Structure 1
């Protein structure tokens, strides 16, 4: 299970409809609703500044939250929609769905690296480049992994590691169908520059002497 599921504190909203929603916005709150889970929908308010900060952080719709509302049991939710002002692009309403343990959701899972100590590419000065420090997976709400692990112990300089070589948790699968790159061992910048210089020297050596002499005469 994921070790750190962020809390999302909200207030139960008294009253429904446009009037109650406008009143909430005037009080610096964003109205919302929590639905699903075979129980009645729960109207809520979330502080505007707190919600805006989380939205700016990114991946709000792909984050599992522990919803805390006073007077109600904590429940795991995921955002299903954020309505925004047509001109100001600021949040005006937010919808959350309660999750059962068997519910499948898309989440970004961190990537953990092992084998760096024995990687021949890193031993020879290569640099580990993480193309995807997180990978978006389809997982079940009741079995969310802390991370996925990649092993770079056999990678040489220039080698890449793709999603097909990663053992994923049972029931999890990538949201992208193609075999995308997660990490690679890149050549150190000094070595890359030297390689470019060598290619330039080879190119110059390959120019026939007669052409060089002709250029000098001109």
Structure 2
């Protein structure tokens, strides 16, 4: 959790549908919705320029954001982003209302430490990242920005699973609650080029004479 406070101006919107959303985007706005806390979904819009600046900091995805309406403020987490298929353009944002002390679940990135000094990699092994993110449960305000995995001592043939990762107090790795101790990272022995060529030859289809 960072000490940085994230906020963005927001305004209510009455229109719905694709035509209305396209008009908003032409005007430099991004349609969004705020839901949760047992309240009706609240359609809103954000200034695209300000939203781009906000999203440039990856910490915003695991921290509370204050939506500043003209008459009130709401605290929320980004729940989903809809992106343009080939442009760096946000088409829609889903926000989830949250309050201090409330426990929430969120996808959090996994960051690997000491890759350059990993024992297994230095001895010729190949690093395999089985997971790049994991679902966590934690109180609002205590959500980790990332789950850090130290792989300095990982040897060839070894792996690290979720149950072996230390997490901050109050944070739970959700898969472990379902007895799903996923592999996070491992180091495999590197095959030589000759071995790879031999395997390819053996698996090639046999053609008729």
| Short-chain TM bin | 0.5 to 0.7
Deviation track 1:124-162 (CA, whole Å, cap 9, x = no partner) reads 122222221222211211211122221222221121111
134-143 vs 114-123, which deviates more?
114-123
**TM-score, scaled relative to structure 1:** 0.58
Q: What displacement does 1:46 show? A: 1.9
118-127 vs 63-72, which deviates more?
63-72
- Gap runs ≥5 in structure 1: 14-19, 54-61, 83-92, 200-218
Flag the 1:25–1:119 CA change in 2: closer, same or farther, 3 A.
closer
Number of residue pairs aligned between Structure 1 and Structure 2: 172
Question: Larger C-alpha radius of gyration, 1 or 2?
Answer: 1
Deviation track 1:105-125 (CA, whole Å, cap 9, x = no partner) reads 121222232344543211212
- Gap runs ≥5 in structure 2: 25-29, 53-60, 82-91, 200-209
Q: What displacement does 1:182 show? A: 1.0
CA distance in 2, matches of 1:134, 1:144: 14
Q: What displacement does 1:180 show? A: 0.4
CA distance in 1, matches of 2:80, 2:119: 47
The equivalences for 1:1-218 within 5 A come to 1-2=1-2, 9-13=9-13, 20-22=14-16, 25=21, 27-28=23-24, 30=31, 32-34=33-35, 36=37, 43-46=42-45, 66-72=65-71, 74-78=73-77, 96-116=95-115, 118-176=117-175, 177=178, 178-188=180-190, 191-195=191-195
8 Å Cα contact 1:24-1:45 kept in structure 2: no
8 Å Cα contact 1:118-1:153 kept in structure 2: yes
Flag the 1:120–1:73 CA change in 2: closer, same or farther, 3 A.
same
Flag the 1:125–1:111 CA change in 2: closer, same or farther, 3 A.
same
CA distance in 2, matches of 1:183, 1:36: 37
Q: For the aligned residues, what is the CA RMSD?
A: 4.2
Flag the 1:107–1:8 CA change in 2: closer, same or farther, 3 A.
farther
Deviation track 1:73-107 (CA, whole Å, cap 9, x = no partner) reads 5543136799xxxxxxxxxx987442112111121
